[in-house]
Amino acid sequence: MKQGKTRSKAIYLDYQATTPVDPRVFAAMKPVFTKDFGNPASRGHAFGARAAELVEAARAKVAAFIGAKPEEIVFTSGATESNNLALKGVAEIYRDKGRHIVTCATEHKSVLDPLRRLAGWGFDVTVLGVDREGVLAPADVERAIRPDTILVSVMAANNEIGVLQPVREIAAVAKKRDVLFHTDATQAVGKIPFNVAEIGADLASFTAHKIYGPKGVGALYVRRENPRVRLAPILDGGGHEGGLRSGTLNVPGIVGFGAACEIAAKSLKEETVRIGRLRDRLMKGILSRVDNVHVNGSTRARLAHNLNMSFGWVESESLIKRLEGIAVSAAAACATANPEPSHVLKALGVPEDFIHTAVRFSLGRFTTPKEIDTVIARVAAAVKAVRGLSPLYAMAKRGEIEGAVQWKD
């Protein structure tokens, strides 16, 4: 009871790690647990038929949301699995055509780690760098493509710094060279208009729990025409999902995913404008009250939902501790499982000192102006308190030493 109360007062600014399930999504899912509980593979009776009907209705909604055809959607357990299926599935099928794959240094671990495994299996992976704003140049992709390149994988929007990659241009470069293009669109779907046909993606991964749907369900878009993309499955079994993903479907999750897409399709435009205003208010508020702050990542090619800032002389862990009741994250959500400094900020050339002081604020559907004003005040006070304990900060202020505090632009 008490804990629930505390949490309801807490301010959640970690929407890029996960989102709450929208109450409308939850309402759509509820009967699927108890009443419409059938196995969609059991088509011989009404329970199975009803479940199959629900799955296909959801598939149509998910497909429509990204401009795909229903038969181009493969349901998975989330974007991690979708990324694995895309990368390993293409690698296995096209290995006789070539064994070279091109990606980018700021990708999510669920792209970089499968590619590292593929490298161990004899594939050659080129990891391209980004500029100081976090953007990958399509010309760099073009230069990296070789006769034996089979796949280019570049994310649409970054989870730590919100930076948008020029995926349409990159897809065009890949297409020109007859190379498949995969994009991890997990952070783009639901936040910016994302249409696979407009972009020219051959494969795209995304997940329900970042768009107010449930955890444990995601999708991989697999192009059916021009070209028809072939994939080898990772899981073998009953041959569900056109043989690409065996295992009984997560029907409640899939229904929730469909509902989440339907809601996002209607509210995306308005919501993004509103959230962008709140993000700018947060950014300006902090910048006007705190010195020696640096915004990480491009401020132009960026999601409206994200603000990533380094606070000179303030370790992110000590800042976050002082922000009790405000949920933000140090670099990426996996930072606790993996205490290495952020590979994304490293790729931007952010100095090590500033990587350790980076905090990600991510806003979403339920963020209010009042919450933003509270966060601005709390952050300003917390930074002041931490710096007040830092003899180095005092020395730097007096100009006696140089350091991260000098890092600008």
Ligand X SMILES: *Cc1c(COP(=O)(O)O)cnc(C)c1O
Nearer to ligand X, 80 or 292 (CB): 80
Nearer to ligand X, 252 or 312 (CB): 252
Q: How far apart are CA 338 and CA 327, in angstroms?
A: 19
CB of 209 to ligand X, least distance (A): 6
Secondary structure (H, E, C), 12-48: ECECCCCCCCCHHHHHHHHHHHHCCCCCCCCCCCHHH
Q: How far apart are CA 398 and CA 24, in angstroms?
A: 55
Residue type, 163: V
Q: How far apart are CA 31 and CA 264, in angstroms?
A: 22
Q: Across the chain, which distance is largest between two alpha carbons, in Å? A: 80
Q: How far apart are CA 227 and CA 266, in angstroms?
A: 30
CB of 170 to ligand X, least distance (A): 16
CB of 332 to ligand X, least distance (A): 9
* Residue 171 structure tokens: 């897809």
CB of 46 to ligand X, least distance (A): 32
Q: How far apart are CA 344 and CA 332, in angstroms?
A: 9
- Which residue's Cβ has the minimum distance to ligand X? 78
CB of 217 to ligand X, least distance (A): 8
* Residue 236 structure tokens: 């073998």
In terms of C-beta distances under 8 Å and separation of at least 24 residues, what long-range contacts does 327-331 make, across chains too? 327/10, 327/11, 327/12, 327/13, 327/14, 328/13, 328/14, 328/359, 328/360, 328/361, 329/14, 329/16, 329/17, 329/359, 329/360, 329/362, 330/358, 330/359, 330/360, 331/160, 331/355, 331/358, 331/360
CB of 102 to ligand X, least distance (A): 18
Residue type, 176: K
Nearer to ligand X, 184 or 262 (CB): 184
Identified catalytic residue from 57, 60, 192, 334: 334
Which residues form the interface with ligand X (CB under 6 A)?
A: 78-80, 108, 110, 155, 159, 184, 186-187, 207, 209-210, 218
CB of 303 to ligand X, least distance (A): 11
Burial of 291 (0-12, 13-18, 19+ CB in 10 A): exposed
138 Rama sector, left if φ>0, alpha if ψ -120 to 50, beta otherwise: alpha
Whether 258 contacts 57, CB under 8 Å: yes
Nearer to ligand X, 99 or 210 (CB): 210
Picking from 6, 1, 9, 31, the residue whose alpha carbon sits closest to that of residue 252 is 31
Nearer to ligand X, 87 or 382 (CB): 87
Q: How far apart are the first and last CA of the chain?
A: 47
Q: How far apart are CA 216 and CA 25, in angstroms?
A: 14
CB of 21 to ligand X, least distance (A): 14
Strands 306-311 and 293-295: antiparallel
Nearer to ligand X, 188 or 404 (CB): 188
Q: Is 104 a catalytic residue?
A: no
What are the catalytic residues?
Answer: 334
